Amino acid sequence: MAAAKRRGRRRPPVRPRREEAIAALAAIALLVLLFLPWYDVGNAESKLALPDAAGAEQSAWEALEVIAPLLALACLAVLALVAARALRPRWQPAITPGAALAVLGGFATLLVLLRVALPPDLEGLVGIEYEATPTLPAFLGLAAALGIAVGGYRAMRAEGSSFAAVADSLQPRRARPASRRR
């Protein structure tokens, strides 16, 4: 009876480690920043803003058709990973949570850095191209993505893990030949 009670009891959630909390807060910040204006839009040919584009701004969702959903998925994966670690403290996935956070943060950082360094070419009505200039939220998004990567890397170090150890753990184990088995 006592064993059944112990099995039925759930462990209370634990607070995320500081490194995981950094990654989670940065992921929340990046999700919010995706809805703010990332680009000022102006006419690329004359450098003058046209009346229909004067003062126009575009959020990441409007300007980055593929990258914005990928960033949102990365942020949601970070939040899910941190929540899973908090709710199930003894959970032992194949890849350490810190390494997964570091990889997701690195992925998000590369995507945002790409679009800050190389803003998208926006085509307006009647085939006129508009120039997109990154604004402060785009740079804050880069900082938030970098925050996910740094939080993940620090969590990985706190776990005593490395990318080489993660790669080794993912390698398939070879079975010994039947002739050597006893």
- For the cut 70, the answer to whether the pLDDT of residue 44 exceeds it is no
Residue with tokens 């030949």: 177
> What is the per-residue pLDDT for 49?
47
Q: What percent of the chain has pLDDT over 70?
A: 75
How large is the average pLDDT for residues 70-87?
92
Residue-averaged pLDDT of the chain = 80
- For the cut 90, the answer to whether the pLDDT of residue 34 exceeds it is yes
Contact (CB, 8 A) for 153 and 53: no
- The confidence band for 27, taking pLDDT boundaries of 50, 70 and 90, is very high
Distance (Å, whole) CA 43 – CA 122: 10
Q: 72 or 47: which carries more pLDDT confidence?
A: 72
- For the cut 70, the answer to whether the pLDDT of residue 80 exceeds it is yes
- For the cut 50, the answer to whether the pLDDT of residue 164 exceeds it is yes
Distance (Å, whole) CA 141 – CA 9: 41
How large is the average pLDDT for residues 164-180?
71
- For the cut 60, the answer to whether the pLDDT of residue 181 exceeds it is no
User: DSSP label at 94?
Assistant: S
How large is the average pLDDT for residues 71-88?
91
- The confidence band for 1, taking pLDDT boundaries of 50, 70 and 90, is very low
> What is the per-residue pLDDT for 54?
45
- For the cut 80, the answer to whether the pLDDT of residue 178 exceeds it is no
- For the cut 70, the answer to whether the pLDDT of residue 102 exceeds it is yes
> What is the per-residue pLDDT for 31?
96
How large is the average pLDDT for residues 24-40?
94
Q: Strands of 57-59's sheet, edge to edge?
A: 57-59, 37-43, 129-134, 122-123
